[in-house]
Amino acid sequence: MAARKRTIEEIMNSDTDTDESDFEGFSLESDISLASDISDEETSDVESDDEKRIFDEWTRFSDITVDDFTARSGPNLPDGFDVDTAKPLDYFWLLFNAEVFADMARHTNSYARWRMEQRNNADPYWTDTSTNEIQAMVGMEILMGINQLPDSRMYWSKNKFMGNQGISEVMTCNR
């Protein structure tokens, strides 16, 4: 008897009681082989058959088609990027380019204006941020991850044993 393909709606609207046909494909202990019983030559076929069975079961109730992955895997570095001479900062700039920082500044300013509108209360201390200020803040966050203190306000402490002069010179605590 061929199994009929059910739609998502039919599955969602069906009773919670299920017949045994919903459990097709479950293995009994007698169907399970030990890894030592399978030769290396058989392993790749077993894995691909299992993967195909799982894929078929997954797609049985779905209209989604999954194409084979054909793109080049691994890092896709820009032309001219020399991994032999690259410094950590070069890799950082691959992830966080100027456009990312500009977007962060734009969204920060937009969110601040939206919040003030929602509260119907303008913050007299707020001034829009800039790309350079966002870059400074990200740099400070990285440094704070390396030089961890119990409380973030301690980075601006006047105490020479607690404060961080570099951070306090880049940006004020309230900013």
**In the chain, domain spans:** 88-170
Q: Which of 18, 22, 103, 106 is nearest to 61 (CA)?
A: 22
Tokens representing 155 are 């980075």
Q: What is the pLDDT of residue 8?
A: 59
pLDDT attached to residue 15: 55
pLDDT of 5 reads 59
CA distance between the termini of the chain: 71
For residues 58 and 66, give the distance between their C-alpha atoms in angstroms, rounded to a whole number: 11
pTM for the full predicted model = 0.56
What tens-digit pLDDT sequence spans the chain (175 residues)?
555 656 555 655 665 555 555 555 555 554 454 544 555 555 555 567 888 887 777 667 667 777 888 888 888 899 999 999 999 999 999 999 999 999 999 999 999 999 999 999 999 999 999 999 999 999 999 999 999 999 999 999 999 889 999 999 999 999 9
Q: Indicate the SS3 state at residue 99.
A: helix
| Cβ partners under 8 Å of residue 152, min gap 6 | 144
Rounded-to-integer distance, Cα 170 and Cα 148, Å? 18
- Contact (CB, 8 A) for 153 and 173: yes
Q: Closest Cα partner for 174 from 152, 147, 158?
A: 152
